[in-house]
């Protein structure tokens, strides 16, 4: 409900310009994050494990990561506008998490406690980092578009400089790729211990490897060929859009991540 109230306020800010993104929206997002955190802690204590094992919990954890990043970065006054872009995403994720049959507990203890909780936490944190990188890339594209049209609207008047966005977004992608690499390695170690193989033709595993390859290619092209500006921003946005549109579908297809 608080995220919804923040969305209404964010839409008003969006209409009148990002220069209005001050302490109020950042405070609303901070209050929502407090309740979000308490909810996750209480759920984890009740279940006796890290709450990241079904679609509801994965969605809530991803939203929590994005909210934490928006609130944390919003401590810098020039970056409080992140809340304007992050709040609609958080509200959408919250509504999606409340859809029927999302919060179904596994009937088999396949993804519980310890190593698998760490695996899923790291991978979801990675997706959160990719999401923040996509937001910054979208800001870059919006500001570049305005500059090309030789306009200086309130929409982009308070955005960071293009150079800052072009530096920060790849760094977030690199952080996300590191977290995803660690999560995949831990998952492979668990799979080896449980089933005697490092890899398995599971839809979610193959999907995660493909996502890793996409972002590794993006970072590699930037370092090898100097992929910068919009040439980096567009693939960053596209990659995260792919993650958001396919994550839940492949999770449902996976017997390991969605045991029946």
The reported pLDDT for the residue numbered 159 is 54
Q: Decide if pLDDT at 111 tops 60.
A: no
The CA distance from 11 to 14, in Å, is 5
Between 125 and 174, the more confident residue is 174
Using a pLDDT cut of 70, give the percent of the chain over it. Answer: 83
Q: Decide if pLDDT at 217 tops 60.
A: yes
- Polymer length in residues for the chain: 260
Residue spans per domain, the chain: 1-100, 111-260
Q: Tens of pLDDT along 232-254?
A: 999 999 999 999 889 878 877 87
Q: Decide if pLDDT at 259 tops 60.
A: no
State the DSSP string of 151-203: ---HHHHTSPPHHHHHHHHHHHHHHHHHHHHHHHHHHHHHHHHHHS-S----H
The reported pLDDT for the residue numbered 38 is 95
Assess contact for 29 and 71: CB atoms under 8 A: yes
Assess contact for 179 and 120: CB atoms under 8 A: no
Statement: the pTM of the whole predicted model exceeds 0.75: no
């Amino acid at each position: 409900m608080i995220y919804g109230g923040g969305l209404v306020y964010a839409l008003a800010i969006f209409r009148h310009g990002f220069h209005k993104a001050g302490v109020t929206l950042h405070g609303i997002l901070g209050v929502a994050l407090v309740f979000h955190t308490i909810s996750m802690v209480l759920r984890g204590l009740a279940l006796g494990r890290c709450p990241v094992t079904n679609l509801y919990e994965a969605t809530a954890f991803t939203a929590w990561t994005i909210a934490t990043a928006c609130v944390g970065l919003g401590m810098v006054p020039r970056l409080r506008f992140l809340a304007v872009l992050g709040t609609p995403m958080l509200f959408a994720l919250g509504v999606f998490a409340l859809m029927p049959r999302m919060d179904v507990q596994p009937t088999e203890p396949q993804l519980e406690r310890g190593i698998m909780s760490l695996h899923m936490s790291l991978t979801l944190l990675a997706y959160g980092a990719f999401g923040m990188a996509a937001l910054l890339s979208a800001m870059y594209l919006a500001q570049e578009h305005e500059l090309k049209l030789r306009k200086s609207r309130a929409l982009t008047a308070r955005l960071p400089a293009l150079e800052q966005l072009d530096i920060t977004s790849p760094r977030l992608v690199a952080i996300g790729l590191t977290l995803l690499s660690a999560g995949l390695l831990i998952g492979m170690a668990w799979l080896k211990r449980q089933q005697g193989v490092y890899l398995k033709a599971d839809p979610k595993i193959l999907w995660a490897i493909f996502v890793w390859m996409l972002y590794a290619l993006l970072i590699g092209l930037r370092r090898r060929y100097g992929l910068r500006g919009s040439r980096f921003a567009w693939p960053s946005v596209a990659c995260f859009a792919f993650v958001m549109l396919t994550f839940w579908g492949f999770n449902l297809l996976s017997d390991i991540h969605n045991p029946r």
